Amino acid sequence: MNVKAKFEVGKTYYTRSICDNDCVITGKVIRRTAATVTMDVRGYGVKTLRISKGLSAVWGSEAVKPWGAYSMAPTLSADRILVA
């Protein structure tokens, strides 16, 4: 898998809800391995998430689904860093 962006410890990543553009989902990386990231997902607490190889290959950067895998689930991608 050749990806241009990878999740980094200490950085916060974001995405917007597909249903409500005002809903911003964020996750701060606490730790990571080659296959997983542990994130503090705002509103959901600390979760260990498996990096999706399929999504990462399509998007060109590492990606996870913090709310689970369903049709309209948000996806956090390593190329969308939140700058406060």
Structure tokens at 15: 């995405």
Classify residue 5: in a domain, yes or no.
no
Q: How many domains does the chain have?
A: 1
Beta strands in 1-84 (DSSP E): 12-16, 24-32, 36-41, 45-50, 63-64, 76-77
Q: Mind listing the pLDDT tens digit of every residue in the chain (84 residues)?
A: 678 899 999 999 999 988 889 999 999 999 999 999 999 999 889 999 999 998 888 889 999 999 988 889 999 999 999 986
Q: Does a structural domain hold residue 3? A: no
**Residue 6 belongs to a domain:** no
41 occurs within a structural domain:
yes
Which domain range does residue 64 map to?
Answer: 12-77
- What is the rounded CA–CA span in Å between residue 30 and residue 16? 21
> Rg of the Cα trace of the chain?
12
